[in-house]
Chain A
Amino acid sequence: MTDGIMTLGAGVLGLGIVTLAGGILLSFAAKRFRIESNPIIESIDALLPQTQCGQCGYPGCQPYAKAIISGESINRCPPGGQNTVDRLADLLGLPTTPLDADPEAASQDKVAVIIEEDCIGCTKCIQACPVDAIIGAAKLMHTVIFDQCTGCDLCIEPCPVDCIKLIPRPLRKDHWIPASPPLIATDRSSPLAIKHG
């Protein structure tokens, strides 16, 4: 009987000491190593496109989110486009501003395309692509998935044979621009029939 109580006591004591020491250590560490974080930075970071392209002048999306908190303007993210600027303005209660980028580049929706005859299959552009829009393998031809490509131009620079260029985003095969049909009788005399684009 006493043996049993002794064993039980040793067990409770031993485990108690281990867990107590661990708990004290961790609570100390949680205080000592606390990181001052701002939840607004995280919500700003969540709105940014996470291409980590550096076109805003900061080394990534998270640093740019930090800079916005300390007063950087919200319109410096070309991959995000006007859409991101509007949503950031909405989140932060700021007036929305036009995107601060080359207006021509911003208005044109571009994608990267690989000139496939020239591709040597070095995989450097695949490693550079932040959205995994380039497929291919070593010593095999690579190609771009247009639907995934954001036109961030990060793949242009690493290409050793300069076989990547930016083109305006091609229309999808099933893309259809409806022409407005003539609405009143006098319009019907016009030669314009319904056009498919």
Chain B
Amino acid sequence: MTEISLIIVSAALVNNFVLVQFLGLCPFMGVSGRIETALGMSLATTFVLTLSSVVAYAIQALLLIPLDALWLRTLAFIVAIAVAVQFTELALKKTSPLVHSVLGIYLPLITTNCAVLGVALLNTNRAHSLLESAFFGVGAALGFSLVLILFAGVRERLELADIPRPFGGASIALITAGFMALAFMGFSGMIRL
């Protein structure tokens, strides 16, 4: 139990995927303009991250290790993530059109989110068990959601702020992201795994 809570805190805060490991920066910059879109993206990513870390574990344990083909990991995981995302979208569209209209446009974006592939690869590198893999995915998703929503809140305020023109738009967003990364460095040393 302590092990699992340590994994979640470590993935969410100490080794935050966006601000410490710099994975998944594209959606972090791309969909953080408004809190509603950030929320939709976080929900979709949470779902896909958890699902794909389990699927990746299954592929690793059932296929790649018996075949002694570990060098196929990246390729096989990308295919599996794409299938998982596509399957989720199809199922969601049929079963719950409302949720689909909230998450709809963000789901395909996640296929190429490097945080998802990063979680799958880190799971195999650290030889996590099935349960640990799933919770590592949950922790990473929590951290991603937290940072994305915080950043969207900051950017909504930035829209209204009186920023000198050379710093406007993407520049001030990147500077702000840098400050947030500095703040998250405060978590390092809290836990060592």
Contact = CB atoms under 8 A, between A and B. Distances in A.
Interface of A: 7, 10-11, 13-15, 17-19, 22, 25-26, 29-30, 32-35, 137-138
28 contacts: A10-B69, A13-B67, A14-B64, A14-B67, A14-B72, A14-B76, A15-B76, A18-B59, A18-B79, A18-B80, A22-B79, A22-B82, A22-B83, A25-B83, A26-B83, A26-B90, A29-B90, A29-B91, A30-B90, A32-B94, A33-B93, A33-B94, A33-B95, A34-B94, A35-B93, A35-B94, A137-B160, A138-B160
Contact of B91 (A7, A18, A33): A33
Contacts of B82: 22
A22 B80 CA distance: 7
Interface residues of B, number: 22
Nearest to A34: B94
Nearest to B91: A33
B159 to A, nearest CB: 8
Main secondary structure of the interface of B (DSSP, over half): helix
Given A29-B87, A29-B91, A14 B80 contact: no
A25 B83 CA distance: 8
B63 to A, nearest CB: 6
A14 B68 CA distance: 9
A25 to B, nearest CB: 6
Most buried by B among A15, A35, A137, A138: A15
Interface in B92-127: 93-95
B72 A19 contact: no
Nearest to B68: A10
A13 to B, nearest CB: 6
B75 interface: yes
A15 B79 contact: yes
The 6 closest A-B pairs by CB, nearest first: A22-B83, A33-B94, A10-B69, A10-B67, A29-B90, A14-B69
